[in-house]
Chains A and B, each alone.
Chain A
Amino acid sequence: SQQGEEDPQALSIQEGENATMNCSYKTSINNLQWYRQNSGRGLVHLILIRSNEREKHSGRLRVTLDTSKKSSSLLITASRAADTASYFCATDAGSGSRLTFGEGTQLTVNP
């Protein structure tokens, strides 16, 4: 079963705009990760944020984590057509537990 719920399910924006995707989860976590999946491809790891962190940046990506609300958001700034993909959050409860993925947000960036 999927732990994460992502919102929105689909998002369509123009190139240059920012894209924000949200993820909510149900149980305590050790870390939360975001992955990207281009059509017909495997998933690619983007960024990991630990439970004791509130914000993390990597290039044009900004991730926030609110453990009190059990939610995270992924912001992609100055989006490009090449950012078109599905984005998944995944939670890791630690101690050898499995990585549990959400259902994903389909992002379309129009040129």
Chain B
Amino acid sequence: EAGVVQSPRYKIIEKKQPVAFWCNPISGHNTLYWYLQNLGQGPELLIRYENEEAVDDSQLPKDRFSAERLKGVDSTLKIQPAELGDSAVYLCASSPAGGETQYFGPGTRLLVL
């Protein structure tokens, strides 16, 4: 069974530029999560989807961050414009309906110069 797929794995951009990350969850998993992980820290939830509905986006900085999960499968996380402080690893995870365990992708490492 394929795991959670994320792309790109690495991204370097200049500040004020836009950037987008893509995630394909495990087949059949209807819950999808986006996390932010700063160096030396644990992941922090940005947004959680149940199918195509964002059910927890309270930690998403909505002035510059946006996310979508059309058709309840793939998801895209966008930052526009990026700031220096956005340099971090962006992790995507998924879980089956009612599942308590989350399955993580390898993450996208973003560097904003």
**Which residues of A are in contact with B by a Cβ distance under 8 Å?**
1-2, 4, 31, 33, 35, 40-45, 48, 88, 90, 92, 96, 98-104
Contacts and interface: CB of A to CB of B under 8 A. Distances in A.
Interface in B36-51: 40-45, 48
A103 B45 contact: no
Interface stretch (B11-19, B68-76, B80-88, B100-108): B100-108
A2 B91 contact: no
Interface of B: 4, 40-45, 48, 55-56, 91, 93, 100-107, 109
A92 B91 contact: no
B45 A43 contact: no
Given A42-B4, A42-B104, A45-B101, A101 B42 contact: yes
Contact of A103 (B42, B100, B107): B42
B100 to A, nearest CB: 6
B106 A42 contact: yes
Given A33-B101, A98-B56, A42 B45 contact: no
Contacts of A43: 43, 91, 93, 102, 104
A99 B45 contact: yes
Contact of B44 (A2, A40, A104): A2
Contacts of A103: 40-42
A35 B104 CA distance: 10
Nearest to A47: B101
A98 B35 CA distance: 11
